[in-house]
Amino acid sequence: MLRSLLSLPRTSFLTHGVRPTYARAPLVASLLQNGTRCFSAPRENKKTSILLQVEDGPGALQETLKFFWKHDVNMTRIESRPAKGHNMNYSFFIDFEGKSGQPEVDELMADLEKNCLDVMVLNDKKVPWFPRKINELDRSVANILDAGTDLESDHPGFSDQEYRKRRNMFAEIAQNYRQGDPIPRLDYTQDEIKTWGVIYKRMKKMWKEHACDEFNYIIPLLESNCGYAEDNIPQQEDISNFLKECTGFTLRPVGGLLSSRDFLNGLAFRVFFSTQYIRHHSMPLYTPEPDICHELMGHAPMFADPDFADFSHEVGLASLGASDEEIERLATCYWFSVEFGITKQRGEYKAYGAGLLSSFGEMEYACAANRPAGSDMPEYRPWDPFSACKQKYPITTYQPVYYVAGSLFDAKEKMRGFCEDLKKPFQARYDPYSQTVSIDRAVQRQEI
């Protein structure tokens, strides 16, 4: 057991934030209201989607659903709506486990056709490809948009052949990694350790004043359990094991930038994709892309907090099978929270976003009362994902707008409400034991 971990004043990930299994509940009259949905526990097998039309009347739905119980066919989703036209009939979209050719399914369909006004078998809904089990993340990381070896001419390390050789090595390690393997331990050079140390020393002073309480609670535990120090770059395998015991999150090496879809999909499995390369030693306080300092100083500590971990998990689940438009909205919310989020504690602005926690200049600009890092005054808005998802933002300058949450719990609950409001093709649940995602309707995963 990791030292001091038992003192964490939080609940385990096995009971915190994992949605309960839905059981077959007694049918009530309100189930007939427009838009009502009902779920039972989905299992990992083929599903069928049907559209039923029944006459409206007391007990009409119950009379129909009794055939599912009679033939022991498990429903995973029910959605009701009034039928079109002037009649008083109701239509029900139902997903259930099983396919034509199975005796129980064929017998069920025969009973439904005899007793319903209309029965129609629907085609599986087509959605963008998404992982259903954790080892399918191996496929996600193959889609690198910007490899860690592709340096622009204005990159500080562009002309440094030794630096480029190291970047190639880190990229190869990430490329060869397979989900579930131990993360390879790396021997960092003295230049790399010195670069890390310059940043860590500078940021540690800033964290005490401008980082949120949750972050400052975790940092000493990372120092004692994972080797966080000014003269040592911690190993991602140690950090991943620590986070797993705290909230179930783990790290996974990646060789460069992923698409928003692939990156967010990983969060659904409580996996954070992390680069391993470090910025060039000639400019330790500047990096044109996320590096290990940003990942391990900014992101990793916050994943040890249950509210933050659940926040990220909600975003990940909502991203599965989502449209490009919804992915953009989720990614924008992620930017204004996980990257540049602020919370207010004891009347002061405190950073919880990694873009602030790994940048002494912008953290001072965003959180310091006198703002010595610049004369411009940013705009602060209450955290509202429905507003944040529409806000434009720069990627090369300090943010002109920050969203401030009342607490990490408040940020999580509002994000959960936003995710529930999205037009998702299905509802998804993550099973931390099998590390698989269950969905409530029949879909076809389409190549993008």
Q: What are phi and psi of 260, to 5 degrees?
A: -55, -40
Question: Minimum mean pLDDT among 90-99, 238-247, 413-422: which range?
Answer: 90-99
To the query of whether residue 447 is one of the catalytic residues in this protein, the response is: no
- Which one of the listed residues 260, 274, 358, 438 is annotated catalytic? 358
Per-residue model confidence as pLDDT tens digits over 86-109: 566 778 888 888 888 899 999 999
Catalytic residue among 299, 313, 359, 438: 299
Residue 192 marked as a ligand binder: no
Question: What's the pLDDT band for 14 if we cut at 50, 70, 90?
Answer: very low
Q: Residue 342 in 3-state DSSP?
A: strand
Task: Please provide the DSSP assignment of 283-296 as one string.
Answer: -TT--SS--HHIII
pLDDT at 42 over 50: no
**135-147 pLDDT, tens per residue?**
999 998 888 876 5
User: Which residues pair with residue 79 across a beta bridge?
Assistant: 37, 93
pLDDT tens readout for residues 182-231 = 999 999 999 999 999 999 999 999 999 999 999 999 999 999 999 999 99
For residue 133, give the DSSP letter: B
| Residue 266 pLDDT > 80 | yes
Mean pLDDT of the chain: 85
281 annotated as ligand-binding: no
For the chain, residues classed under CATH 3.30.70.260 are 29-122
- Give the active site residue among 155, 210, 281, 294: 294
- Rounded to whole angstroms, the Cα distance separating 137 from 97 reads 25
Distances (CA, A) of 311 to 20, 268, 342: 17, 11, 14
The predicted structure's pLDDT at residue 60: 78
Which residues of the chain form CATH 1.10.800.10? Answer: 134-446
Residue 385 has pLDDT above 80, yes or no: yes
Q: What is the pLDDT of residue 83?
A: 60
Alpha helices in 5-50 (DSSP H): none
Task: Based on the residue annotation, tell me whether 326 is a catalytic residue of this protein.
Answer: no
Span 345-368, pLDDT tens digits: 999 999 999 999 999 999 999 999
16 annotated active-site? no
- For residue 57, the model assigns a pLDDT of 76
Report the distance separating Cα 167 and Cα 157, nearest Å: 10
Spatial distance between the Cα atoms of 300 and 227, rounded to a whole number of angstroms = 13
Alpha helices (H) along 371-407: 385-388
Selected catalytic residue, list 339, 359, 362, 364: 339
**Which token pair is 384?**
């509202």
Report whether 339 belongs to an annotated binding site. Answer: yes
Is the model's pLDDT at 81 over the cut of 90? Answer: no
What's the CATH class of domain 134-446?
A: mainly alpha
Q: Tell me the pLDDT tens digit for each residue of 281-339.
A: 888 777 878 899 999 999 999 999 999 999 999 999 999 999 999 999 999 999 999 99
Predicted local confidence at residue 375, as pLDDT: 61
What Rg do the C-alpha atoms of the chain give, in angstroms? 25
| 149 confidence band (pLDDT: 50, 70, 90) | low
* CATH class for the region spanning 29-122: alpha beta
Q: Are 235 and 186 in contact (CB under 8 A)?
A: yes
List CB contacts of 375: < 8 A, sequence separation 6 or more: none
Residue 294 appears among annotated catalytic residues: yes
Place 49 in a pLDDT band, splitting at 50, 70 and 90. confident
Beta-bridge mates of residue 349: 344
